[in-house]
Each structure stands twice: as structure tokens, then as C-alpha cells.
Chain A
């Protein structure tokens, strides 16, 4: 197990370094002088010279990369061209909002999808299964941004019961502001989980040990929850972690639709504003979250399913 964890940790570190190369190259691949790209248009020659000094832009590329990595580790990745503040400080401001949103999305989709998946599997090809599958299919095919706009149309414009934009103040107001974006962000994840729980349950219900459990005369409830569900959920655990990446990608869209001040909307605004220092920081942060999440998930998976460890 320790060997497996070590190997997995090594590949994670390599991945993070790889992503850091992408982030590093970004302003250097863009057409133009990186020192000008990393500074706003109205910067004086003096400031541009400082930027060149700060990032070591007069040195060879590998030394520039070294400077970049050292700055990244010191959490000093320059200032945002739009806000003029440190990029790391800006991320710190927006980060909690995205976490709240992702948590709401994650929790509701897991709570809803596991029972629905089981229900569909136990009633295979009967009405509950057909309805649940239709629901899951819609969740998979309906674009998040459009679903968000439709919900704004219904709940904010027509019925006027939920806020459409922003984040709100105070606990209840904030919670109200999380309902629509949280629902939208979790919807495609929910659809994926339902399909997965359903197909894993169907698979497991055909296994010999389930038949044995039935033959022993165990109650149906015990067979389903103790024997079938536990095994069906193992692959689901992987998806729970891997989909953190999906939630980040989704937050880019969802936060933009609902004008929700989080990292996703910040990303879109930074890209639209060609704010390279901010985008560099965001790419690193997103990759760090995603890679650590999949590392943790793989370790849990290796623990749950010993076959993985010995590959």
C-alpha cells in the first residue's frame, strides 16, 4: 500500500510540474513582449523594467522557469492587471465562495442520486426506472448555462421567489443565493452519478455472492444494502473525486450565468481581460485542487479495492 501511495504521489508531483510549465509558458507564447503582456497598458518604462527584473525575463528560459517556480512556492505570482492587487490575495477572496457553491452542488447531487440509482436498478425497465433514466439523460444533455437561464426565467422573473444574481448578505440571504447556482452546478454530476449507481447495482445484483446471500434466506433489505450496495459504490467513489474537476469546469459556466463572485467567474473575466498573471495563478490553483483530489481518491480506491494496488 505504501509503495502504491508513493508511486501515485510521484505521478501527482510530475503532473503538477507539467501544469506549471503550461502556466509558465502562457504569457511567453502569447504574441508580444512578455514584460508588456504581464503589465497593464499604461505601465511606465520603469515599471516594465521592474517586471522584467521580477520575472528574470532577460535570462534564459530555464532560469525564468526556476524564478517562476520559486515565486509560485512563495505564493507571489505578481499582481492582477485588472484589480492591481496580488493574484494570490484575489484568489483568497473568491475561493470560499466557490467552495460553498461546489459543496452545495456536490452534496445535493450525491444525496439525490444514490437512492435514485438504486431505485432504478431494482425496478429495471419498469416505470420508476424509465422516469429516472429520462431525468438523468436530460441532466446529461441539457447545457448548464441554458438550464441556469431557464431557472432564472422561472424562479426570478416569472415567480420572483429566488434571487437570480450575486451572493447576498447574512446567512439566509446567502443560502437563498446558493439554491439556483448550486442546483445547476450539481445537475450534470447528479445525472452521471444516477447512471453509474444504476449500472453498477445491476452488475453487482448478478454476482454470485448476491445469489448466495439470497439463497441463505437473508432479507431483501440486507442483501441490497450490505452485499450489493457496498460493492456497487466502490467505482462510484472514484467518480466522486474525479468529478471535482467537473465541478470546477462547471463553476466557470455556472458562476458566469448567475454573476456569482467565485473563481469560475474570475477565470472568465481574467481571460476576457487578457489578465495573464491572474490566469496563470488560476490555472495553477485549479490544477492543484484537481490533482490533490484525484490523488486522495486513488488512495481511498486502492484501500477499498486491493486489486488496484498490485497493478
Chain B
């Protein structure tokens, strides 16, 4: 890595070096390869945060909706409380306690993101548990745990998958925001958020360092949203507009 390669223009520009298709950053690192490596962080964090938040939320929501009464009241007040703090602020506070790091970001997003899953799961559970097949299961003596795992949760899968795919975009966005603020994934790992943050100091000479990772990030987040919307339309025709 020669110092001369610092901030060289993207290969697609007329004066650029074709060896670096997206140019290089202030340390002479190839922007394109860092974007590709950054995809790993974004997608891993996004997928695992959806799995983490989804698991907690589905269990809490199903229990609240199924048992009702004071269980529901207590759990939902807890959810309300969590939703009473702006999500990003809550995430930042948890980062403050846990410290930065990729898996800590997954933990933070799961710890703050399950609230929405719990809300949706509870809502669907309330309507499903009135259906006849639940009554039938109960009449032949099935235990609550069996009814919840065998009869209730399978009926929740469609709305949860839809929410999960929409949340994927939200979590990728959140990870990049945390990394942008320097409170997410540490700087030795390339992430889109931190690349955009670092390019900020070189805006007057090197527009590509911040711009190109941002375009990739926007396309990824939009892709996740479109995917979620498409799934919703396919799985839940009532919501189609």
C-alpha cells in the first residue's frame, strides 16, 4: 500500500485509477473491498438481531396474549415502558453499559427491538386463541405449553415473518447509525456506517469516500423494506393496497 494511493479517484471517473473501481480512502484502502466486507457486518447484525428480537418478542407476546389478565397487563406495561424511550436512545444507553462490538450491537438491537414483536404477537394471539381448534385442543386435555407451541405459534408465523423482514431493514439502518456515531462496531472492522463517518472529513476533496457506501446502504435498506412489503402482500392479502 503506497502512500500515493491515498484518496485516489474511483476507477469509473475519467481521471481515476482503474485498479480501484470505487477509489481509495484516506489510508489508501480500497473503498469497494471495504464496502463488500461491510456487507458482512450489516447483514449478520441485521439477521441475528431479527432472530434475537423476534424470539424474545414472540414468546413474551404469546404468553401475554394467551394468559391475558394480570400477566398481559404486567407484560404490556413493560412493553409500553420500553416504547416510551426513543429506540435509538435506549440502544445508545445499552451500548454505554456493554461497550462497542459487533455482537454487542446484535444484543442491543435484540434487547430494544423485541418490543414491537411482542405487540404484534399479542394482538394476533388474542384473535387466534378464540378459534375453535384451540378450544378443541383444550377439550382433549392439552397442556398450555403444548397449545402455545403446537397450535398458537404456527398460526403466528405469517405476521411474524412479515414483521421480521421489515425489521431487517430497520436493524441494518440502526447498526449503521450506531457505527456512524462511533458507538457500534469498532473501527478495525469495516462497516458502512463508520466508512461514511470517516469520509466526512474529506468531503471537500474526495466525495466518493462517504457517498458510495451510503448508496449501497440505502439500496440494502430499501431492498429489505421492499422485500418485507412484498411478503406482507403475498402472505396477508387483506393488507394489500
List residues of A whose CB falls within 8 A of some B CB. 11, 14-16, 18-19, 22, 26, 29-30, 137-138, 140-146, 149-150, 152-153, 157, 199, 202-203, 245-246, 248-249, 252-253, 256, 267-268, 271-272, 274, 279, 282-283, 286-287, 290-291, 294
B contact face: mostly helix, strand, loop, or mixed: helix
9 further contact pairs, Cβ within 8 A, besides A141-B222, A274-B96: A15-B84, A22-B93, A26-B96, A149-B210, A152-B203, A245-B86, A249-B87, A253-B177, A271-B93
When distances are taken between beta carbons in the complex, the residues of chain B under 8 Å from A252 are 86, 88-89, 92, 181
| Residues from chain A with Cβ under 8 Å of B96 in the complex | 26, 30, 271, 274, 279
Whether the pair A153, B86 counts as a contact (CB closer than 8 A) is: no
Q: How extensive is the interface on chain B, given as a class?
A: 35 or more
A13 to B162, CA, bound (A): 33
Verify B89–A283 contact, CB threshold 8 A. Answer: yes
Q: Is the CB of B61 closer than 8 A to any CB of chain A?
A: no
Write the nearest CB–CB distance from A108 to chain B, whole angstroms: 21
Any chain A CB within 8 A of the CB of B207? yes
Q: Does B176 contact A (CB under 8 A)?
A: yes
Are A268 and B181 in contact (CB-based, < 8 A)? yes
On whether the beta carbons of B218 and A290 are closer than 8 Å, the reply is no
With known contacts A143-B221, A149-B200, A271-B96, A246–B86 Cβ distance under 8 A? yes
Residues of chain A within 8 A (CB-CB) of B222 are 137-138, 140-141
Of the candidates A149, A279, A290, the one whose C-beta lies within 8 Å of that of B93 is A279
B62 at interface by CB-CB < 8 Å: no
Say whether A146 contacts B204, CB under 8 Å: no
Cβ of A283: which chain B residues have Cβ within 8 Å of it? 85, 89, 93
CB-contact partner of A143 in B86, B95, B176, under 8 A:
B176
A-B residue pairs in contact (CB < 8 Å), sample of 24: A15-B77, A15-B84, A18-B81, A19-B81, A19-B85, A22-B85, A26-B96, A30-B96, A145-B176, A146-B196, A149-B200, A202-B241, A245-B86, A249-B87, A249-B88, A249-B89, A256-B181, A271-B93, A274-B96, A279-B96, A282-B89, A283-B93, A286-B89, A291-B84
Within the assembled complex, what's the spacing in Å between the Cα atoms of A149 and B193?
12
User: Contact at B210–A146, with CB atoms within 8 Å?
Assistant: yes
- B104–chain A nearest beta-carbon distance, Å: 14
B183 an interface residue at 8 Å Cβ cutoff? yes
Inter-chain CA distance A145–B217, complex, in Å, is 11
Q: Which of A19, A146, A199 contacts B214 (CB 8 A)?
A: A146
**B155 contacts A by Cβ under 8 Å:** no
Q: Please give me the residue from chain B that is nearest to A289 by CB atom.
A: B86
Contacts of B182 in A (CB 8 A): 272
The 7 nearest A-B residue pairs measured at CB: A141-B222, A146-B214, A18-B81, A249-B86, A249-B88, A15-B84, A141-B221
Interface of A is mostly: helix
Q: Among the listed B88, B200, B204, B225, which residue makes an inter-chain contact with A140, where contact means beta carbons less than 8 Å apart?
A: B225
Q: Does B211 contact A (CB under 8 A)?
A: yes
Q: In this assembly, does B4 line the interface, its C-beta being within 8 Å of a C-beta of chain A? A: no
Contacting residues, chain A, for B173 (C-beta < 8 A): 143
Measured in the bound complex, the distance between the Cα atoms of B87 and A274 in whole Å is: 19
Asked if B88 contacts A29 (CB within 8 A), the reply is: no
A267 CA to B88 CA in the complex, in Å?
A: 11
Q: Contact check, B89 vs A267: say whether CB atoms are below 8 A apart.
A: yes
Q: Which of B19-65 contact A (CB under 8 A)?
A: none
Tell me how far the C-beta of B42 lies from the nearest C-beta in chain A, rounded to whole angstroms: 11
Question: In the bound complex, do residue A149 and residue B203 qualify as a contact, i.e. CB atoms below 8 Å apart?
Answer: yes
- Whether A153 and B97, one on each chain, are in contact in the complex, defined by CB atoms closer than 8 angstroms, is no
Report if B233 contacts A (CB, 8 A): no
Give the docked Cα–Cα distance between A272 and B203 (Å): 24
Minimal beta-carbon separation of A105 from chain B (angstroms): 14
A146, B217: Cβ atoms closer than 8 Å: yes
Instruction: Give the chain A neighbours of B97 by CB distance below 8 A.
Output: 26, 29-30
Within 8 A of A (CB), among B125-146: none
| B80 touches A (CB below 8 Å) | yes
CA distance A140 to B89 in the complex (A): 20
**Is the CB of B180 closer than 8 A to any CB of chain A?**
yes
* A19 proximity list for chain B (CB < 8 A): 81, 84-85
Q: Which residue of B lies closest to A164 (CB)?
A: B203
